[in-house]
Chains A and B, each alone.
Chain A
Amino acid sequence: AQTVTQSQPEMSVQEAETVTLSCTYDTSESDYYLFWYKQPPSRQMILVIRQEAYKQQNATENRFSVNFQKAAKSFSLKISDSQLGDAAMYFCAYRMNTGNQFYFGTGTSLTVIP
């Protein structure tokens, strides 16, 4: 079974600083997809960034980037120049190459300190 683990229940970062959120996963598949979702206080889930496992290059989206280590089954999210609006719950998610189901981690609550 696929499991996704986020070992940091809570994190905080000073505004304009950089923070890294950790995520590890367990799978026997070689082809899969990884995502980071943000859930602000409104509870609306928003996609932050995605990574295809077959790509070696780490995905980046503006201030958000990932460090994907396939052998270690690690998929961390780096937020640069943190902004107050980045405060939210962040969920790491895994999706197999087949099927539609997403497997979510336990989440990391990020606080941004002004």
Chain B
Amino acid sequence: GAVVSQHPSWVICKSGTSVKIECRSLDFQATTMFWYRQFPKQSLMLMATSNEGSKATYEQGVEKDKFLINHASLTLSTLTVTSAHPEDSSFYICSASIPGQGPNTEAFFGQGTRLTVV
């Protein structure tokens, strides 16, 4: 099946610094990618939709200036957590679907990134 690769799988950063998470579609081009946040034993909360060549669409309550999304190419979307604080510590997951295959196509997920802000 299609592969979505996310990097890094875990990162620890100091409070106040910025962290960049990459999401790549390895064997298909993704015009749209999704970024989720997941708290322990909870569901995936959609943060934003990353659109290649245009601005990301953020869900209500998600700070666009804090969670910067850049979809610079058809295979790469990045999420940058700026001025990270301990409350930003979480598990972040990206996903993408193969375009043009119809709405019954599944979403492929990255391995996730565990961010810990100390």
**Which residues of A have CB within 8 Å of B112?**
43-44
A67-75, A79-87, A96-104 - interface stretch: A96-104
A68–B37 CA distance with the chains assembled, in angstroms? 29
In the complex the two chains form, is B93's CB within 8 Å of A107's CB? no
Please count how many residues in chain A sit with their CB below 8 Å of the partner chain's CB atoms.
Answer: 26
Cβ–Cβ contact B43 & A33, under 8 A: no
Find out whether the CB atom of A43 lies under 8 angstroms from the CB atom of B43.
Answer: no
Given the known A-B contacts A33-B104, A45-B95, A100-B97, are A106 and B43 also in contact in the complex, defined by CB atoms under 8 Å? yes
Q: Is B54 an interface residue (CB 8 A)?
A: no
Is there contact, CB below 8 Å, between B109 and A45?
yes
Q: How far is the CB of A112 from chain B (nearest CB, A)?
A: 17
- Bound-state CA distance A58–B33 (Å) is 29
Q: Does the CB pair A33–B103 fall under 8 Å?
A: yes
Given contacts A44-B112, A102-B95, 15 further A-B contacts (CB under 8 A): A33-B103, A35-B106, A35-B107, A43-B112, A45-B93, A45-B95, A47-B106, A47-B107, A93-B107, A95-B107, A96-B103, A98-B103, A99-B103, A100-B107, A102-B34
* 25 pairs, CB–CB < 8 Å, chain A vs chain B: A32-B103, A33-B103, A33-B104, A35-B106, A42-B111, A43-B91, A43-B93, A43-B114, A44-B109, A44-B111, A52-B104, A91-B43, A95-B103, A97-B103, A100-B32, A100-B97, A101-B34, A102-B34, A102-B95, A102-B107, A104-B44, A105-B43, A107-B41, A107-B42, A109-B41
